[in-house]
Amino acid sequence: MEAGRTTAPSRPRAVATKYVYDFVEGSREMRELLGGKGANVAEMSRVLGPERVPAGFTITTEACVAYLAAGEEPEGLAEQVAEALDRLERSAGKRLGDPGDPLLVSVRSGARESMPGMLDTVLNLGLHDGCVDGLAAMSANQWFAWDSYRRLVQMFGNVVRGIPGDLYERELTAARSAAGVELDTDLPVQALRDLVDRFKAAFSQRTGEEFPQDPGEQLRQAIRAVFDSWSGDRAVQYRRINRIPDDWGTAVNVQRMVFGNRGQTSGSGVAFTRDEVTGAPRPSGDFLVNAQGEDVVSGVRNTREIDELRDLMPEVYAELMEILGILERHYRDMQDVEFTIEDGRLYMLQTRSAKRPAQAAVRFAVDAVREGLLGRDEALLTIDAASLDALLHPTFDPAAEYRVLARGVAASPGAAKGTIVFSAPDAVAAAEEGRDVVLVRPFTEADDVAGFAAARGILTSEGGKASHAALVARGMGRPCVCGASELAIDLSARSMTAGDTVLREGDPIAINGTTGDITVDDVALVEPEMGDEFATVLAWADELRRLGVRTNADTPDDARRARQFGAEGIGLCRTEHMFFNPERDALVKRMFLSAEGWRRLRADAQQAADDERPDAQRRFDQADAAFWRELSELQALQRADFESILEAMDGRPVTIRLLDPPLHEFLPVEHFRAEVERLEQEGGDDRLETARRELALVESLSEANPMLGTRGARLGILYPPIYEMQVRAILEAAIATARGGDPPRVEIMLPLIAYETELRLLREFMVRVAEETMEAAGERVEYSVGTMIELPRACLVAARIAHYADFFSFGTNDLTQTALGFSRDDIEARILARYIDRKILDRSPFETIDEPGVGALVRLAARSGREARPDLKLGICGEHGGDPDSIEFFERVGLDYVSCSPYRVPVARVAAAQAAVRAA
């Protein structure tokens, strides 16, 4: 750009931005601008009438954003506030700071989403030395006036000027003991006056300024403080955890005060339209007599159950109950309200949709439909699908108190306790003895999987939500806490330390995979039940959803469990997981070794054939025969595996993926090296020779980047007999199952296809093997052949690939990994946390699909695949298949089904229904 040519930007001044809205102008639709509290206070005064809701106005979130960007109030704000205040004063018939009859206001924060306790609020603003007496005279209540002033000086100092709260609490405690009373409400007026003096002194000592006597100045400072509280540490952390964007800002609500501290016919409280823990259709809540709202939440006094209000103030109670009903019907959701009673008159100060645990959410949805409040579709939308997970796992007793030893990533929900073991074999041994153990490892690997099944829970010090430990644990429904980096685990010493606590093998430990908490205290666990209401919700979800829900299951156990949870088929059966088994381990290692031996022998034979030597054919035959000797045993095992899985699924579709291991997981160099060293110690013999040969072979196979090396289809192209063995086993199992009952529906799936030519080659080969197998058996079964779509190239050439595929299954874990160049195992703990911190990302792309990037690839492949082949079946089998936000996306791109781990199946059913309702 040529600097000289541009004219200086002129200030946009024509239309002044409207920063202030009176409550009467607002409504619930305006929560982005007015914040949730402001929008709902406005809505409430429409619904309940202005006499129920004290008047006031809201300063917009835009004003806050502008203030935070510029470091000062945006132009026009001060004037608009003054005008709104003037209107408020006129409607109230009182003026701020008026010595005879002062108007007092509250200054309340309120963001678009509620951030309880994170932002600031100041009450009783407007009082100063010159008007306390006026307030006392008007109310004929000295105590009330001085209690209000005491509260203002205290809250203002604390909230607006950051003076630590315990300084005030210490003064209050001293005042109570000096007066010989237990409660603030019993303090004599003189004590309150003294407290005001002391609080003011503390104020000037701490801030170097006098406590502001000008109400206008109080208001300005309080508004700024609320704006500033948006950037406070507490609020920033809360937003991080709850994924609330930093750029929303908070609104500020200025509202005429009503007083719960005017004596025995006054009070303040909170209430839920239904029981906030169980969801039972009975309001719950707490209140205090002669108190302002802050006292109820701050715990300075013991609150009373809302039921007691019925006896104390029957009319107020009846009104409150009626209002709760009105609000719930109006908002069509369970509400959580705040109220104040001033001299027997009930005022409503806040309402919002109640946060609730999964059981309450389910109960509400079912009751709301039964009561005719909501339709099924609406009722389903009131449930946070992701939270339903909690209903399927044991949890820490909510009433239990315990000390948190350390915290990690909440990687797989549910709670577990047991004694510590540091290795998978120890876990297995313990399980055989019937002991409950928690498997503790720095991280886990393929070899540890048997330990997952044996342990109650898994705890690691490294890795995140997409680490091996997390994935396997979720798949198996084992609670898991990952990446607890405060733990220093010493495997050789069989101990770990957290701070100065040392724990050894056999010591008790408890983990909560829902929260990430780790404790050594003996916390009680409570078992979940899949109650009738949950079953009802799931049945509705099944009626409303379009997407099919399948499961990822590698064992008959998984398959059966998933069916109980309502899985309609298996979307991913990973055959390599059947090999992760100590007994099969040796067989599998031999298979891979002889595969490589076979490849070399075949190459020699080929050379012989090229040289037209007469022994060429014999060499080919010998190579094949040697390899098949190794393979046939595995083929029999696999056939049995597949048979029991097909039986468990009873005629439902089962997608079996051919082997896709990174080779190093099965051929770890260290294992072979250790064997050589061991045999060397014992003194060499033939076995040492073999071990050395094997080590050399394994070393020659080791890859710099195994995840991008000899995997998936590449393995099948390099060593066709392995896939041939698997296809035979699958077809034989299908034939055997068909004899017994419903014809199975097997779908053979090829992993890691990039080129249409790979798929063509393998498909031809597999169809040939299948035909041969069926011919040999003299029976036919239906089967289809499809492919994983998990490489960007496959997405880009999906039309060509579709030519050779009956179905696509998006493997979004690998697709995310390869599209982003993120190594799942390395990125999670080290990079992602930092990225989220720096706001480069707001969540892990392995948790919720990266819609603009990876999602675009999925969309493209789905569309062009279907164009090339309209009957192409489309599914997704990555971890995203159990994530509600991702499921919503898969609904929009028109996939046929999602597949997720067994325990996520109910979540996916509900999320799929919600997605369908939203799409409609």
Question: Where in the sequence numbering do the catalytic residues fall?
Answer: 468, 877
Of 356, 224, 349, nearest to 287 by C-alpha is: 349
Closer Cβ to ligand ADP, 22 or 825, answer by number = 22
By the rule CB under 6 A, 790 interacts with ligand ADP: no
Q: Which amino acid is at 288?
A: L
Closer Cβ to Mg ion, 320 or 388, answer by number = 320
Of 638, 623, 569, nearest to 896 by C-alpha is: 569
By the rule CB under 6 A, 538 interacts with ligand ADP: no
Q: Are strands 480-482 and 409-412 parallel, antiparallel or unpaired?
A: antiparallel
Of 820, 864, 868, nearest to 846 by C-alpha is: 820
With CB under 6 A as the rule, give the number of residues binding ligand ADP. 18
Of 419, 431, 434, 413, nearest to 528 by C-alpha is: 413
DSSP element (H, E) containing 109 = strand 105-111
Sign of CA dihedral 211, 215, 218, 222: positive
By the rule CB under 5 A, 418 interacts with Mg ion: no
Q: Are strands 807-810 and 783-789 parallel, antiparallel or unpaired?
A: parallel
By the rule CB under 5 A, 412 interacts with Mg ion: no
Interatomic CA distance for residues 580 and 659, integer angstroms:
12
Stretch that binds Mg ion, among 16-24, 317-325, 332-340, 440-448 (CB under 5 A): 332-340
Q: Which amino acid is at 162?
A: G
Closer Cβ to ligand ADP, 81 or 438, answer by number = 81
**If contact means CB under 5 to 8 A according to the sort of partner, which of ligand ADP, Mg ion, none does residue 517 touch?**
none
Closer Cβ to Mg ion, 275 or 814, answer by number = 814
Stretch that binds ligand ADP, among 207-215, 256-264, 449-457, 501-509 (CB under 6 A): 256-264
Tokens 């339903």, residue?
388
Q: Which of 47, 63, 88, 123 binds ligand ADP (CB under 6 A)?
A: 123
Q: Which amino acid is at 99?
A: P
Q: Which amino acid is at 385?
A: A
Interatomic CA distance for residues 799 and 50, integer angstroms:
62
Contact 281, 370 (CB under 8 A): no
By the rule CB under 5 A, 811 interacts with Mg ion: yes
Closer Cβ to ligand ADP, 37 or 561, answer by number = 37
By the rule CB under 5 A, 286 interacts with Mg ion: no
What x/- string results for residues 270 through 309 when contact with ligand ADP is judged by CB under 6 A?
Answer: ----------------------xxx---------------
Helices (H), 243-313: 293-298, 307-312
By the rule CB under 6 A, 106 interacts with ligand ADP: yes
Q: Which of 340, 351, 460, 914 binds ligand ADP (CB under 6 A)?
A: 340
Helix (H) and strand (E) counts in the chain: 35, 33
What x/- string results for residues 52 through 81 when contact with ligand ADP is judged by CB under 6 A?
Answer: --x---------------------------
**If contact means CB under 5 to 8 A according to the sort of partner, which of ligand ADP, Mg ion, none does residue 121 touch?**
ligand ADP
By the rule CB under 6 A, 444 interacts with ligand ADP: no
By the rule CB under 5 A, 814 interacts with Mg ion: yes
Backbone φ/ψ region at 249: left (φ over 0), alpha (ψ -120 to 50), beta: left
**If contact means CB under 5 to 8 A according to the sort of partner, which of ligand ADP, Mg ion, none does residue 349 touch?**
ligand ADP
Contact 783, 748 (CB under 8 A): yes
What x/- string results for residues 29 through 58 when contact with Mg ion is judged by CB under 5 A?
Answer: ------------------------------
**If contact means CB under 5 to 8 A according to the sort of partner, which of Mg ion, ligand ADP, none does residue 828 touch?**
none
Token pair of 247 as six digits: 């750029």
DSSP element (H, E) containing 460 = strand 457-460
By the rule CB under 6 A, 254 interacts with ligand ADP: no
The strand pairing partners of 511, in sequence order, are: 416, 518
**If contact means CB under 5 to 8 A according to the sort of partner, which of ligand ADP, Mg ion, none does residue 123 touch?**
ligand ADP
How many residues in total does the chain contain? 920
**If contact means CB under 5 to 8 A according to the sort of partner, which of Mg ion, ligand ADP, none does residue 914 touch?**
none
Question: Which residues neighbour 694 within 8 Å (Cβ) at sequence distance 6 or greater?
Answer: 593, 672, 675
Question: From the centroid of its chain, how far is CA 258?
Answer: 39
Q: How far is the CB of 338 from ligand ADP (least distance, A)?
A: 4
Which residues in 36-55 contact ligand ADP (CB under 6 A)? 54
By the rule CB under 5 A, 350 interacts with Mg ion: yes
The strand pairing partners of 437, in sequence order, are: 419
Give per-residue burial for 690-721: e unless 16+ CB within 10 Å, then b.
ebbebbebbeebeeeebeeebbbbbbbeebbb
Q: How far is the CB of 108 from ligand ADP (least distance, A)?
A: 3
Closer Cβ to ligand ADP, 259 or 804, answer by number = 259
**If contact means CB under 5 to 8 A according to the sort of partner, which of Mg ion, ligand ADP, none does residue 255 touch?**
ligand ADP
Q: Which of 47, 175, 258, 877 binds ligand ADP (CB under 6 A)?
A: 258
Interatomic CA distance for residues 508 and 516, integer angstroms:
17
Cα–Cα separations (whole angstroms), residue 743 to 646, 768, 918: 9, 21, 36
Closer Cβ to Mg ion, 226 or 910, answer by number = 226
Token pair of 789 as six digits: 């779509």
By the rule CB under 6 A, 255 interacts with ligand ADP: yes
By the rule CB under 6 A, 124 interacts with ligand ADP: no
**If contact means CB under 5 to 8 A according to the sort of partner, which of ligand ADP, Mg ion, none does residue 471 touch?**
none
For 600, counting Cβ atoms within 10 Å of its Cβ (0-12 exposed, 13-18 middle, 19+ buried), the class is exposed
**If contact means CB under 5 to 8 A according to the sort of partner, which of Mg ion, ligand ADP, none does residue 800 touch?**
none
**If contact means CB under 5 to 8 A according to the sort of partner, which of Mg ion, ligand ADP, none does residue 814 touch?**
Mg ion
Residues of the shown chain interacting with ligand ADP in the complex, contacts defined by CB under 6 A? 54, 106, 108, 117, 121, 123, 255-258, 268, 292-294, 338, 340, 349-350
Residues of the shown chain interacting with Mg ion in the complex, contacts defined by CB under 5 A? 338, 350, 790, 811, 814
